[in-house]
Structure 1
């Protein structure tokens, strides 16, 4: 699976979505009474330990000045990761796996809205409609007769995830993404450790196990994104990531005995279908541009 063809890139992203869902499973298995800040700290530690050899190789094999680029950005993203990780644990502790994941998939909608606000990207009627339908879908999924902290955490996680994803655009292109991920996690350690000390919970070996497993899955997901989007236009393959919702339904039912009701399915359609439409629209636009470019080239050759 090289990721150089559309089919192989889609398969890689589907596998990545499975690992992302598996990461959520291990976090949820840590139990509702888990020491949240301690768990977040150990996740950051394990991600640093796993990425460290790769980062050293990248550092030694590149211009040393490149390694110091974007440090302020990595610092911001590292601390945002801590916030997102805490919100993720809180939401998964109480919400069913499929319900939480369905809400998480509103992140692309927030990315489009933030992109229009911060980067002055064009906000079309389709994007606005997708945002409205996504909001309706979230309400259908959660059906908030009473607002719980887990519901708020799931929505805030999607918002923080979207903001953190947009910051990737500012990372220097010449810097390795895996090296950048290592530096980001390194900058997450001070805040994560400070919160863990402030929390003052007793250490439990189970936290270490689930933190390690979830960290491995998280890195595998990051690698899949790196390979899946490296050679193929993102609009052609990004819909493959929505397979994660299917994995969430299946793993939630198989491991936790959760049976999603009709509301979760209907709400998920409200969230996912507009995003699939936007992806399909971009594919058609790219094909038209490529066809026009080929026609001009043929006319020029003639």
Structure 2
């Protein structure tokens, strides 16, 4: 693995996270009174339409294999979209994104309970520091409904990430995405009807923009992780928080305070340390394998 390849993957992730932040900005501009399920239904429907040209990458003979897992993930995703829209509409952009980064910590905890994995000391540090970081950012006096929604969005991301391991191994990424958005349409449509909000053309434009941007983000992630091992570049994902601070400051006049900086560091730094440790271990294993392939000069 060359340094140039790793740098290329890191650049893709940095660009991808910037693209995802633009989607967050579009949603935030809708305001706090956005019809949540109208937005969710439109975005899911648009995403499904965007995936249709990739129909050939889907295994038609086993289209609904693993349907139960797909169904649960799809509706967890729907809950996550709803929570995200509420959180972005009410919280500062950077604060909402800082809480979203609790997702990797929740993945660790869920893996312990579901797959009986054990946590290293560094992982335990990340868990404790992450939740303490949330308390520092929000502080008890500012812990409101929007903050709970941001945590709900992080939980949705974590559930979806953990349940990927339960999906059929042979299914492509397009197949997984297609089933997710196909299965979520009925529930999102019914919830939109129950919501009963008048049709808003601005939501249509925002949902289309958000769907395209999130798909573009997914493409950059897939391209990046196809080039290198995930643990070598995962830390680049956290540049999204830098984008959130910069855009929030310049666009929405949201100046981060000392509590936000301290809390964000408590959440992100342990996760970066874990990523860097995994990267070192991966390099060491690669070096060991390379050395073991050399001919034995004693023969």
Q: TM-score range by the shorter chain?
A: over 0.9
Contact 2:136 2:263 in 1 (8 A): yes
Q: Does 1:53 align with 2:56?
A: no
Residues 1:294 and 2:290 aligned together: yes
Q: Which deviates the most, 76-85 or 165-174?
A: 165-174
Deviation digits for residues 44-93 of structure 1 (CA, Å, limit 9, x no counterpart): 11111111111x2323xxx5324332222221111111100000011111
Question: What's the CA shift for 1:161?
Answer: 0.9
**Paired residue secondary structure (1:188):** helix
Conserved? CA contact 1:13–1:224, under 8 Å: yes
Task: Give the secondary-structure state (helix, strand or coil) at the position aligned to 1:121.
Answer: coil
Unaligned runs of 5+ in 1: none
State the Cα distance separating 1:99 from its structure 2 match: 0.5
How many residues are paired up?
296
State the TM-score, normalizing by the size of structure 2.
0.94
2:111 paired with 1:115 = yes
Shift of 1:140: 1.1
What does residue 198 of structure 1 align with? 194
- CA-CA distance at 1:117 after TM superposition: 1.6
**1:137, 1:269 within 8 Å by CA — same for their partners in 2?**
yes
Residue 259 of structure 1 aligns to a residue in which SS?
coil
Per-residue CA deviations over 1:2-37 (Å, capped at 9, x if unaligned) read: xx9211111111111011111111111111111111
Q: Give matches, 1:1-302, under 5 Å.
A: 5-54=5-54, 56-59=55-58, 63-298=59-294, 300=296
Shift of 1:146: 4.4
Query: Which consecutive aligned stretches of 4+ in structure 1 deviate over 6 angstroms post-superposition?
Result: none
Provide the C-alpha distance between the structure 1 equivalents of 2:229 and 2:160, rounded to a whole number of angstroms: 21
Contact 1:29 1:210 in 2 (8 A): no
Segments of structure 2 that go 5 or more residues without pairing to the other structure are none
Spell out, residue by residue over 1:168-207, the C-alpha distance to the aligned partner (whole angstroms, 9 max, x if none).
Answer: 1222232220221021111110110010000111001111
Aligned counterparts of 2:257 and 2:86: Cα–Cα separation in 1: 22
In the TM superposition, residue 231 of structure 1 has moved relative to its aligned partner by 2.9
How many angstroms apart in 1 are the aligned matches of 2:111 and 2:295? Answer: 37
